[in-house]
């Protein structure tokens, strides 16, 4: 299903080093920094920096540090605005991570060069206060641990698994996850912040947050480290609110997933290793294969899945299907090609996508048949045409949602964004504010989806 891309190009984020402009910011009262060298080569390295606010909430922040020997230089950083003067490095928040609540954190990263031994930096400060891991000399608060909040989708269901044709929870009972997908995070990053994720979890009562990381179209291939870090940050934000996070390797053009095979291996090796201990992560390894055979898609899947399994043996993995993840229907085929030649892996599901105004009875008939043989997940759908635009087809949308509820097939709606298109949940300009739930900001599509997603889940626990 094609997306309207040209009109979004002006929203692309410019990455790299810029001149630092300090924002107005309140003093921090306590902070902690974890600094890790994640990769190193001759004369160069990549590092991750996690800053945690241990004190009062901070809106607007600058993190600084000094190199121990002055032989290091930042080349390119992400998730902040970076600069370096002599041996001192400064990084200032972006719009989407401006606020650090008590206990909140920001994941940053950069690539750089070095001479000598490349020691770790010293003297970290947040808004001028030394990051000693304490608050005013007191011991830091205890680490709350990885457990999600009780009563949330993840808190109730825990680690998911595939059982038969269903997605099952920790009690081996079939469940249905209902939620929303981001638009391309390279264009709509401002839509995914603490306020919008709070609204999705608490007001929309969403079970699922799909993170659409385009590979082309100004996405991952332009800055692998930066996009990987942004995805990990969004996984953490979903986890903190007890929602499942679906990491979507959003391939669209070109349609052959093998074009991105090496990128996929690199990306999934990284995110699987980093998130292996989490219970809320689902991996979607190829968004919408198109113009290729099922055998080609299957080959790709059987090369990428082992990479994830090496780090994360338990997580559910979703495989895209032929014809823009239509089980082959959009290419004149059907589900039998998968039934007769399934991917050689366990704990996997197959993706199905539809757009309600374009895909109707014959697509619904295929899903009804396939659901008796294959574990399916609707990782993306829209209430409008396959272009992402046009009027909402309410009758077809409701028919689809009723069918998915009946079959216990999970879904993520395209999109939790304020894109100027019919599929967006919010009216244009909504993401410049803090309201993501009221009738005044919702489009017709958004109002329909919020009314469906927010109904009680009644997850089985015995």
List, by residue number, the catalytic residues. 288, 380
Closest CA to 250 of 280, 213, 293, 298: 213
Cα-atom radius of gyration of the chain, to the nearest Å? 22
In the numeric block, which tokens belong to residue 104? 């909140």
Whether 263 contacts 222, CB under 8 Å? no
Cα 62 to Cα 83, 90, 92, 123, 431: the distances in Å are 11, 7, 4, 14, 24
| Separation CA 161–CA 316 (nearest Å) | 6
Cα 178 to Cα 119, 167, 181, 231, 243: the distances in Å are 47, 12, 10, 20, 10
Provide the CB-side half-sphere exposure for 65 (13 A, CA). 24
| Separation CA 99–CA 23 (nearest Å) | 12
| Residue 129: burial class (beta carbons within 10 Å; 0-12, 13-18, 19+) | middle
Backbone angles phi, psi at 34, to 5 degrees: -110, 120
| Separation CA 198–CA 155 (nearest Å) | 16
Whether 34 contacts 106, CB under 8 Å? no
Coil, strand or helix at 244: strand
Beta strands in 19-80 (DSSP E): 31-41, 44-53, 58-59, 62-66, 72-78
The count of other CB atoms within 10 Å of the CB of residue 249 is: 26
Cis peptide before 276 (omega within 30 of 0): no
């Amino acid at each position: 299903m094609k997306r309207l891309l040209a009109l979004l190009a002006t929203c692309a984020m410019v990455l790299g080093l810029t001149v630092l402009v300090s924002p107005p910011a309140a003093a921090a009262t306590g902070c902690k920094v974890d600094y890790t060298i994640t990769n190193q080569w001759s004369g160069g390295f990549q590092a991750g920096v996690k800053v945690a606010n241990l004190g009062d909430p901070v809106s607007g922040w600058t993190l600084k540090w000094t190199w121990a020997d002055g032989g290091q230089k930042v080349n390119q950083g992400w998730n902040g605005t970076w600069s370096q003067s002599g041996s001192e490095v400064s990084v200032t928040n972006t719009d989407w991570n401006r606020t650090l609540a008590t206990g909140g954190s920001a994941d940053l990263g950069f690539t750089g060069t070095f001479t000598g031994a490349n020691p770790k930096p010293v003297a970290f400060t947040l808004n001028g206060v030394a990051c000693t891991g304490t608050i005013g000399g007191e011991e830091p608060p205890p680490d709350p641990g990885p457990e999600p909040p009780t009563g949330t989708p993840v808190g109730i269901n825990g680690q998911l698994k595939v059982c038969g044709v269903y997605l099952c929870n920790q009690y081996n009972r079939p469940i249905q996850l209902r939620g929303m997908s981001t638009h391309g995070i390279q264009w709509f990053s401002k839509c995914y912040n603490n306020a919008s994720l709070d609204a999705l979890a608490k007001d929309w009562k969403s079970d699922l947050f799909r993170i659409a990381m385009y590979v082309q179209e100004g996405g991952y291939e332009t800055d692998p480290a930066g996009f990987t870090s942004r995805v990990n940050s969004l996984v953490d934000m979903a986890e903190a609110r007890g929602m499942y996070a679906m990491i979507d390797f959003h391939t669209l053009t070109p349609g052959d997933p093998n074009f991105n095979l090496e990128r996929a291996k690199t990306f999934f090796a990284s995110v699987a290793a980093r998130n292996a201990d989490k219970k809320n992560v689902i991996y979607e390894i190829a968004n919408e294969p198109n113009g290729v055979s099922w055998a080609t898609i299957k080959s790709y899947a059987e090369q990428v899945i082992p990479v994830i399994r090496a780090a994360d043996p338990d997580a559910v993995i979703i495989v895209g299907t032929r014809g823009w993840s239509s089980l082959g229907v959009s290419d004149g085929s059907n589900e039998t090609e998968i039934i007769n030649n399934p991917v050689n892996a366990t704990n996997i599901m197959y993706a199905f996508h539809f757009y309600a105004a374009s895909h109707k009875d014959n697509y619904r008939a295929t899903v009804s048949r396939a659901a008796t043989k294959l574990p399916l997940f609707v990782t993306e759908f829209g209430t409008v045409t396959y272009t992402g635009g046009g009027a909402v087809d309410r009758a077809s949308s409701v028919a689809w949602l009723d069918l998915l509820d009946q079959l216990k097939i999970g879904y993520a709606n395209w999109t939790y964004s304020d894109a100027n298109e019919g599929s967006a949940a919010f009216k244009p300009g909504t993401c410049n504010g803090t309201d993501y739930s009221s009738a005044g900001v919702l489009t017709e599509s958004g109002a329909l989806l919020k009314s469906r997603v927010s109904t009680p889940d009644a997850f089985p626990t015995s």
